[in-house]
Amino acid sequence: MMNYFPDEVLEHVFDSIASHKDRNSVSLVCKSWYRIERYSRRRVFIGNCYSISPERLIARFPGLKSLTLKGKPHFADFNLVPYDWGGFVYPWIKALAESGIGLEELRLKRMVVSDESLELLSKSFANFKSLVLVSCEGFSADGLAAVAANCRFLRELDLQENEVDDHRGHWLSCFPESCTSLVSLNFACLKGEVNLGALERLVSRSPNLKSLRLNRLVPLDTLQKLLMRAPQLVDLGIGSYVHDPSSEASNKLKHAIQRCKSIVSLSGFLEVAPRCMSAIYPICGNLTTLNLSYAPGLHGNKLTKLIQHCRKLQRLWILDRIGDKGLGVVASTCKELQELRVFPSDPFGAGNDAVTEEGLVLVSAGCPKLNSLLYFCQQMTNAALITVARNCPNFIRFRLCILDPVKPDPVTNQPLDEGFGAIVQSCKRLKRLSLSGLLTDQVFLYIGMYAEQLEMLSIAFAADSDKGMLYVLNGCKKLRKLEIRDCPFGNSALLEDVGKYETMRSLWMSSCEVTLGGCKTVAEKMPSLNVEIINESDQTEFNLDEGQKVDKMYLYRTLVGHRKDAPESVWIL
């Protein structure tokens, strides 16, 4: 019996439980554990901002310090969701501000963030320390200026791949002289100029600065000055990197880079000339993370020469211009590699520089620790996938994107069912899977049978019938997110087990065979789900025919019913 432990002791024990899942489990044990856990909870992760309301969050966790919120569905990244669909952060910030909660950290993904929200945020939380915005939109440099000016103890301002209207670069000058607490500053995604003098002074007075990612318009001489002032950097994102290797500026840069002995993560190169890369060689030996995916100018010998210096690499993001041969160099050099992402540099082109199954096989053979993959390629074969599955049984994330999404195995002309089947059978810890290529119902049978730990599955242009979807829904017990586009899945798959959707975060289906009637049935049977129909056509009257196929459906479990902020194009059943 745990009754004789004072609350403080239990609290102390719970402190050492970091994972959200575990803390959630702890709170379910009994009433007193629930009570103690909720008062001591500091960090909350909300994977779908419409699954709960800010009021209920605040009521349950009054001691909240760090909040992570995600908004739009994943397919919003690929232009499949209307821009005004939702995911507004303002109501959250307003509620938190009015509640007296001492928020210190806010991490947002795919949310709409207005300048007004940033301003309110900056003025409402005296101890605010960390703002991380990933794939967000709706704000301008004015919002950033408010954060810079008002958050006196700001440690982290991390902007990743946001759409920002930042033609005014004044925001950086808004950091007061008294702000010396910065640990991480990332503005690589901004398109406008910043005040370079202000940037230099800011870096000079930030002795704890560990991570600095610059945008494209920070010139080389500024980079050199910044490096001289911050040799303690651990993570560097270079903006513009074009210089004449024989020039004085280049020598000064080399010297500055060499002083930065702690850099283990390098990214950016938003503008780069290949012949300049040799200045980086001295620090390559320490790198564990390298992101060259924004540098289409780097390829061929210059690229492979660079890679050959990076023996400690654990994470590599690169463009497919590296080619199969280049991946061979990765395979023979980067024995510690865990994560590889190969992005397409020219998705609609002839694919001369692209990678094929050969590159992947080479990496799988040379890098046994590989556990996370995102691979855009021209083609894939079953034989290659089977080999990869055998070489790398540790995959946690396996995302394959063949640029022609219905392409069969070019050698045998068969669908890729067997190849992906080998992956799910071999990789017992697989949590995330994205499929492409020609696929029949068979691959879903394999997934249902073997992918026991699968939490997220992305399907496009695959399957022959409802059976495919049913195999997955019946078999994958841990499934949380399922996103499907352009597959022949209809009402009988959708309606087979509607209770399943309550065990998942969300289901997306677009350009499938489900009808309005089918979606309505789900909504009727499951009041704990929001079933949204997204209709962006120009029809002035909604076609209310139950047999009408639904273009886009997004359903998700929620504790707070229909949301009130949906635009006209979204119909909540």
Partner 1 sequence: MSSENGKLLPETDAGGLNFEATELTLGLPGESRVTSDGVAKLGSKRGFSETVDLSLGDNKNTNKFGQSQIDVPEAAKSPVSKAQVVGWPPVRGYAKRRTKSCKYVKVAVDGAPYLRKVDLEMYNTYQQLLTSLEDMFSCFTIRNYLSDKKLDQVNGIEYVPTYEDKDGDWMLVGDVPWQMFVESCKRLRLMKSSEAVGLAAPRTPPKCSSAS
Which range in 50-58, 165-173, 339-347, 493-501 contacts partner 1 by CB under 8 A? 339-347
Asked if residue 394 binds partner 1 (CB under 8 A), the reply is no
Residue 137 pairs with which residues in a beta bridge? Answer: 112, 163
Quote the CA–CA distance of 270 and 242 in Å, as a whole number.
10
Neighbours of 109 (CB within 10 A): 20
Per CB under 8 A, the segment of 72-80, 148-156, 282-290, 389-397 that binds partner 1 is 72-80
Q: Does 140 bind partner 1 (CB under 8 A)?
A: no
Interface with partner 1, residue 7, by CB under 8 A: no
Residue of 7, 98, 163, 502 interacting with partner 1 (CB under 8 A): 163
- Which of 65, 315, 485, 557 is close enough to bind partner 1 by CB under 8 A? 485
72 binds partner 1 (CB under 8 A): no
533 part of the interface to partner 1, by CB under 8 A: no
Task: Give the rounded distance of the alpha carbon of 230 from its chain centre.
Answer: 28
Cβ 430 vs Cβ 424: under 8 Å: yes
Among 176, 197, 347, 561, the residue binding partner 1 under the rule CB under 8 A is 347
Alpha-carbon distance values, 317 to 298, 332, 340, 399 (Å): 13, 17, 6, 14
CB of 280 to partner 1, least distance (A): 17
Rounded-to-integer distance, Cα 172 and Cα 284, Å: 30
Told to check if 291 binds partner 1 by CB under 8 A, we report: no
> Does the footprint of partner 1 cover residue 487 (CB under 8 A)?
yes
Q: Indicate the angle between helix axes 417-426 and 382-391, nearest 10 degrees.
A: 10
**In this complex, which beta carbon is closest to partner 1, that of residue 161 or of residue 524?**
161
Instruction: Select the residue interacting with partner 1 from 14, 50, 88, 343 (CB under 8 A).
Output: 343
Smaller CB separation from partner 1, 4 or 78: 78
| Pick 26 or 108: Cβ nearer partner 1 | 108
Rounded Cα gap, residues 471 and 435, in angstroms:
15
Give the CB-side neighbour count of residue 67, counting CA atoms within 13 A: 26
Strand 339-343 versus strand 315-319 pairing type? parallel
- When asked if residue 300 is in the footprint of partner 1 (CB under 8 A), the reply is no
Strand partners of residue 267: 237
Alpha-carbon gap, residue 289 to 291, rounded angstroms? 7
Min separation Cβ 521 and partner 1, Å: 19
304-333 residues in contact with partner 1 (CB under 8 A) are 319
Cα distance between residue 348 and residue 345, in whole Å: 9
* Residue found by looking up tokens 């620090």 in the block: 283
DSSP state, residue 104: -
Q: How far is the CB of 291 from partner 1 (least distance, A)?
A: 11
Residue 488: CB minimum distance to partner 1, A: 4
Kindly state the smallest distance separating residue 294's Cβ from partner 1, in Å: 6
Looking at the Cβ atoms of 250 and 558, the one nearer to partner 1 is 250
Q: Give residue for tokens 């089947």.
A: 421
CB 281 within 8 A of CB 306: yes
d(CA 463, CA 466): 8
Cβ atoms 220, 242 nearer than 8 A = yes
Residue 131: exposed, middle, or buried by beta-carbon count in 10 A (0-12, 13-18, 19+)?
A: buried
Q: Cβ(310)–Cβ(333) under 8 Å?
A: yes
Interface with partner 1 by CB under 8 A: which range of 117-125, 227-235, 419-427, 483-491? 483-491
By CB under 8 A, residue 400 contacts partner 1: no
> Which of residues 426 and 442 has its CB atom nearest to partner 1 in the complex?
442
Please give the Cα distance from 18 to 246 (Å, whole number). Answer: 51
- Kindly tell me which residue out of 50, 61, 75, 444 binds partner 1, with binding defined by CB under 8 A: 75
Cα–Cα separations (whole angstroms), residue 314 to 74, 369, 408: 26, 9, 32
Question: Residue type at 170?
Answer: H
Among 77, 98, 496, 546, binds partner 1 (CB under 8 A): 77
The residue from 111, 212, 403, 493 that contacts partner 1 (CB under 8 A) is 403
Contacts of residue 492, defined as CB under 8 A and 6 or more positions apart, other chains included, come to 466
| Interface pattern 234-273 for partner 1 (x via CB under 8 A) | ------x-xxx-------------------------xx-x
- The residue range among 29-37, 65-73, 308-316, 374-382 that interacts with partner 1, by the rule CB under 8 A, is 374-382
**Smallest distance from the beta carbon of 81 to partner 1, in angstroms?**
8
Q: What minimum distance in Å lies between the beta carbon of 7 and partner 1?
A: 46
Asked if 573 interacts with partner 1 (CB under 8 A), we say no
b/e per residue 254-275 (b: at least 16 CB within 10 A): bebbebbeebbbbbbbbbbbbe
Determine if 373 is a binding residue for partner 1 (CB under 8 A): no
Helix, strand, or coil here: 455?
Answer: coil
Asked whether 185 and 210 are in contact (CB, 8 A), the reply is no
The correct pick among 122, 356, 391, 521 for binding partner 1 (CB under 8 A) is 356
Q: Which of 27, 267, 345, 372 binds partner 1 (CB under 8 A)?
A: 345
> Dihedral of CA 187/191/193/196: which sign?
positive
Q: By the 8 A CB rule, do 402 and 375 touch?
A: no
Closest separation in Å from C-beta 552 to partner 1: 8
Q: Does residue number 379 form part of the binding site for partner 1 (CB under 8 A)? A: yes
Q: Work out how close the CB of 352 gets to partner 1 at its nearest, in angstroms, rounded to a whole number.
A: 10
Output 41 or 243, the one with its CB closest to partner 1.
Answer: 243
Binding site for partner 1 (CB under 8 A): 75, 77-80, 82-84, 135, 161, 163, 240, 242-244, 270-271, 273-274, 293-294, 296-297, 319, 343-348, 351, 356, 376, 378-379, 401, 403-408, 410, 413, 415, 434, 438, 440, 458, 460-465, 485-488, 511, 513, 536, 549, 551, 569
